[in-house]
Amino acid sequence: MHLTLNWYFVWAQDCSRFPRCFGMFSADGDALVAGAIRQFLEATEGSGELSCIPVGQARLDVLQADTAITGSGMLYDEFIGHRDSPLPPRPLPEHMFADGDYGQ
């Protein structure tokens, strides 16, 4: 999840090619994660405010804001971890675009 958010949100990369494997135990799990991340990216893009935030550190800071909590009080870092600086803007690994290995 962190790699995906780093690439598409922090570095503002085009979402036309989107990963489908997030290391979940099932295809359904991977699809749920992909859907949630896509929904987040579409919502932030649609807000109109995203274009005012420079790529890189500023967007990472927004992603990791203290106010980024779920309705049940969980913090962002429980889902995506925390970094003091963004990962370099490197394309996602190819295995993320392939079908997952679910041990079947």
| Residue 57 zone, left/alpha/beta (φ > 0; ψ -120 to 50; rest) | alpha
Residue 85: is it exposed, middle or buried by C-beta count within 10 angstroms (0-12/13-18/19+)?
Answer: exposed
Using CA atoms, how far apart are residues 48 and 66, in angstroms rounded to an integer? Answer: 21
What's the whole-model pTM score?
0.90
Per-residue tens of pLDDT for the chain, all 104 residues: 999 999 999 999 999 999 999 999 999 999 999 999 999 999 998 888 888 999 999 999 999 999 888 889 999 999 899 999 999 999 999 999 999 989 76
Alpha helix (H) residue ranges in 12-56: 27-46
Q: How many CB atoms lie within 10 A of CB 21?
A: 20
Query: 97 and 20 in contact (C-beta within 8 Å)?
Result: yes
